[in-house]
Amino acid sequence: MEQAKNLKEKLFRKKQNGWEMNIDINQIQNFARNYISFLNKAKTERECVKEFKKILEENNFQDIKEKENFKAGDKIYYINRHKNIYAAVIGSDDLKNGFNIIGSHIDSPRLDLKPNPLYESEDLALFKTHYYGGIKKYQWVNIPLSMHGVIVTKDKKIEINIGEKDDEPIFTIADLLPHLSKQQDKKKLEEAISGEDLNILVGSIPYETDEEISEKVKLNILNILNQKYGIVERDFVSSEIEFTPAMKAKSLGFDQSLVAGYGQDDRVCAYTSLKALLNINNPKRTAICLLADKEEIGSMGNTGMSSRSFEYFLSEILNKTIGNKPGLLDEIFQNTKVLSADVTGAYNPNYPNIYEKNNESYIGHGISVIKYTGSASKGGASDANAEYVGYIRNLFEKNNIAYQNSEMGKIGIGGGGTIAYILADKGTDVIDCGIPVISMHSPYEITSKFDIYNAYKAYEVFYKDE
């Protein structure tokens, strides 16, 4: 009896709930409190960059443009077009031996305004939107929305943030009432609300005048915006306005073990990997935190992971330390280790049949290490080498980091990707390693506070590893 029990103990892989490990709950709750307050301040990539810049500067990181030379131990950052950041702590080792990089993304699914958004319909004013990233559209109607972004006029740039403070108005998309939705109810879920149905209600009072003119409600809205911001209708063409859920991120559950909040894909990995970098002093290998934009729409664009802006940042590090030369960056990439820190879909108890239970991520069970993403045939995955997976698991086991190895859902049920393959293309060793999320891409995503704190520790040991 005992012999078999001991043998099983020795040979089986145990599934372990992180809350049952030897942990400090106060530490976990404190970390989560700061994370929740960050989520409430940073609902767009631009707002994330602002918050992170403040945190980096408070921790003695310098803009890479400010100095001509850097030495081991120096802390630097670079902000690319207000929308993505690279931060580094220079190592003491010969830089050609490679870097330790953690890469995440700070853009999240949302509703962007079209270039000509404002129109009037039967005395109501609305905005036309164009959704950004993979959303289930029915989730975005009849929830409070807030407005964020910038408008560039002839002579200035105006920053907008409306709907987050208690005394500010919110906006919403009006769905059809159940009494009249017999036809809509019969449609497939993905067709019931179309992209062109995602029109945001923004006002209803007509401009006060005795003159016979049309579109008085639209005129009144434009007049309010003109008085407040000095803009005219044409200025929307040079704007980036994003509507996000206005709900506050909060603790979830009687035991307050979870976080519910918008934009946790992938700001939960961005926040934990940046906070971990703040603990790195005088490392042997150069530690880099990379926060990309545009992941949710394919990583293209000059602030996305495919942009050569990242190579520019690394070249600047070389220029200002050991000096650059042709081929040096390629050699460094060959010796570089990367964690692609992106969230993954966690097991959702409402849909047990979607999952292959031996190979899923479970909320509260630690960081998910994902050898390959993609769909069906592993299509589109960079697929980490066994040697590199071995290195990561040993690192985590040595440092008591809770980790799980998973895929996402049964084969053929769906799939997804991250920035991993783009970094693999450069010649680095890279593996996906992020926090499991329930209801990913929804207006109210759910994570575990244990996983958040555990990921923060995991990222710290990775940066520090020699």
Burial of 390 (0-12, 13-18, 19+ CB in 10 A): exposed
Strands 250-252 and 157-162: unpaired
Distance between CA atoms of 295 and 107, rounded to whole angstroms?
7
| Spatial contact of 103 and 339, defined as CB atoms under 8 Å apart | yes
| Spatial contact of 290 and 106, defined as CB atoms under 8 Å apart | no
> Shortest distance, CB of residue 299 to Mn ion, whole angstroms?
10
Which C-beta is closer to Mn ion: that of 148 or that of 294? 294
> Shortest distance, CB of residue 264 to Mn ion, whole angstroms?
9
Which C-beta is closer to Mn ion: that of 113 or that of 370? 370
Which C-beta is closer to Mn ion: that of 47 or that of 342? 342
> Shortest distance, CB of residue 436 to Mn ion, whole angstroms?
12
Which C-beta is closer to Mn ion: that of 371 or that of 441? 441
> Shortest distance, CB of residue 151 to Mn ion, whole angstroms?
27
Q: Which of 458, 462, 88, 103 is nearest to 295 (CA)?
A: 103
Which C-beta is closer to Mn ion: that of 52 or that of 171? 52
Q: Which of 466, 425, 464 is nearest to 333 (CA)?
A: 425
Strands (E), 7-109: 62-63, 75-80, 84-89, 99-105
Distance between CA atoms of 117 and 196, rounded to whole angstroms?
12
Alpha-carbon Rg for the chain, nearest whole angstrom, is 24
Applying CB under 5 A, the residues found at the interface with Mn ion are 265-266, 342
> Shortest distance, CB of residue 104 to Mn ion, whole angstroms?
8
Q: Which residue is nearest to Mn ion (CB)?
A: 266
Which C-beta is closer to Mn ion: that of 296 or that of 360? 296
> Shortest distance, CB of residue 399 to Mn ion, whole angstroms?
25
Which C-beta is closer to Mn ion: that of 266 or that of 293? 266
Burial of 215 (0-12, 13-18, 19+ CB in 10 A): middle
> Shortest distance, CB of residue 420 to Mn ion, whole angstroms?
11
Half-sphere exposure of 153 (CA within 13 A, CB side): 12
| Spatial contact of 47 and 148, defined as CB atoms under 8 Å apart | yes
| Spatial contact of 428 and 360, defined as CB atoms under 8 Å apart | no
